[in-house]
Structures are given as structure tokens and as C-alpha cells.
Amino acid sequence: MSSVNDTKFQATMFLLTGISGQEAIYHWISIPFCFVYVIAIVGNSFILFMIKTNPSLHEPMYIFLSMLAFTDLSLSISTLPTTLGIFLLNSREISLDACFSQVFFIHTFECTESSVLLLMAFDRLIAICDPLRYASILTLRRIFKMWFLCVMRGVVVMLPLPILLRQFWYCRSNVLAHSYCLHQEVMTLACADITVNNIYGLCITLLTEVLDSLLIFLSYVMILKTVLTVTSRTESLRALNTCVAHLCAILLFYTPIIGLSVTHRFGEGISPLLQMLLGYVYLLAPPLVNPIVYSVKSKHLRVRIIRVFVK
């Protein structure tokens, strides 16, 4: 169905967009996308497998890592059908209900990942600032309660999004700028007052990603303060080295997500190519890079991965 501008017309589906103007070489573009998805899915699945099958890795830090891997894996699967559908099959059409469902899953896993990154910052805070009580504070029972709350927060906070979108009449252009559905983009196609969606979207951004990033920042301020009081430079560097992988995960997640949110809400006149690139980095980079970084930086995990391949 082509895009239209007739306010009497009700769209029954949306048209997704891969990379505008490059349709003739989609079969070549699909190769790196397939590669990224394979690495992301295999890498995160392998992390989960290694942690599950190695009792020595059943420690808080690795359990939190398994939560991150599970969330990244789910996020990859949420976007895979539509993204590869475009580049492999040139299938751009998506029904309204399928689009709203994808909005829910993408934003729920995005919110959950933000929560997990906060939990991982809390883990590093306790490990460095109060190591003697580390095991007593982060018990398995308490960790799984926190994981349950993270998932429930994502579900409860994001569930109104598809419900609100379902109430609208879509009679403007039905063409989306990405190869998947995002709330902040879909709502702009509605022929209705989207003030409630704008306000709710801004509120959940402030209460999830912004609040989580602020708490993570405060956690690292406390970590840095503790590290600076350690007289041994070697011990200080060792403590900070345990945070490197987590800091990489934070930058990979928050930088593109904040940039994409800003460009969608306040970015009139910003290049569509920039929005497209931010959109792909936002959803593809963390699942791709996180398992690689943690496999390299985590000594215990790296040793066990090497043992698997050298047997």
C-alpha cells in the first residue's frame, strides 16, 4: 500500500524502510546484517550456555551478565524478522497489530536492559565499596527478585504504548523510517491529538533510561571515591578494570538511544540518514558488542570459553 495524504483514508498496514535509495543492492546489504544477527544471537546464547553449565560462574556478576545476554538476545529477535525481511525478501509491509506488538517488545526489552545495567552498576558498587558483605547482600534469592522486578517494570510501563497507538486513526503517510516499529515514530503518523502519547513517552523516558543513567552515574561517583582512597595504585587499577566492560555496555546502550529519542522529538531538519544510522546502532550494537567485550574482559569467563575450544 502506498503512502497517502488523504485524511479520509485509514491505513491498514505500515511500510517499513530499509536504506532509502539503495534498494538495488539490498541483497548485498543483507550480508552484513545477517552477519551481525548471527554473531549477536550465537554470542549471547553462548554466554548463557557457559554461565548455566559452569557452577563456578554462578556468582552475582555472571548472573547479572546472563540477564544482560538474555535481554540482548530478545532484543535481537524482536527486530530480526522485519529487518531481514526487508533486505532479503524486500518485504516492507507490516500490519498495524504486528507493528504495535513489535513496539511493545522492543521498548520492553529496551527498558529491561536499562534496568539490568543499573543492577550491574549496583553489583560493582557493592563489590568495590563493601566487598566483605558482597555475598550476603547479593544472594541468589535477592538477585532473582530484582530480575523479576526489572522485567515487570518493563512490561507494566510499556504495555500502554500499543494500547494507546491502537486507538488512533492512521490517515497520513504510512511509511516508517526504520525497518522496525518504534513508538516515537508510529505515533506521528496518527491523524489525532498525540499529546498524551508525547507526554507519556517523555515520562517513561525520564523514569526509566534517564533515571537509571543518573543512578548509574552516582554509583560510579561512589566507586571512584572509594578507589581514590585506596593507597595501592595496583589495587585501584584492578578494581577499575572490573568496571571497563560494564562502562562499554553503558555507552553502547545510552548514547544512541538518547540521540534517537532527541532526533525523533526535536530533530526537525536533521538528516534522515543520521536517524537511520542511530536506529540501527541503537538496537544492533549492544547485542553484537556486549558478549565480545565481556568475553575479552572477564578472565574467568574467557578461560572457560578457551577450554571449550581447545579440548
Each residue's pLDDT tens digit in the chain (311 positions)? 444 444 455 678 899 988 877 888 888 999 999 999 999 999 999 999 999 999 888 999 999 999 999 999 999 999 999 999 999 988 899 999 999 999 999 999 999 999 999 999 999 999 999 999 999 999 999 999 999 999 999 999 999 999 999 998 888 778 998 899 999 889 989 888 899 998 998 899 889 989 999 999 999 999 999 988 876 788 888 888 889 999 999 999 998 887 777 776 665 666 677 778 888 888 899 999 999 999 888 888 888 888 877 76
SS3 2: coil
Q: What's the confidence (pLDDT) of residue 297?
A: 86
| Gap between the Cα atoms of 175 and 163, Å rounded | 21
SS3 138: coil
- Tell me the torsion sign for CA atoms 275, 75, 120, 265: positive
Q: What's the confidence (pLDDT) of residue 140?
A: 92
| Gap between the Cα atoms of 284 and 275, Å rounded | 14
Q: In which residue are the cell numbers 544471537 written?
A: 41
CATH architecture of 13-310: Up-down Bundle (1.20)
Q: What's the confidence (pLDDT) of residue 293?
A: 92
Q: What is the DSSP letter of 175?
A: B
pTM tops 0.75, yes or no: yes
Q: In which residue are the cell numbers 524478522 written?
A: 81
Q: Is 172 exposed, middle or buried (0-12, 13-18, 19+ CB in 10 A)?
A: middle
Domains of the chain, residue spans? 13-310
Helices (H), 130-210: 134-137, 140-158, 160-166, 183-186, 195-205
Q: What are phi and psi of 254, to 5 degrees?
A: -80, -35
Position 135: which residue type?
A
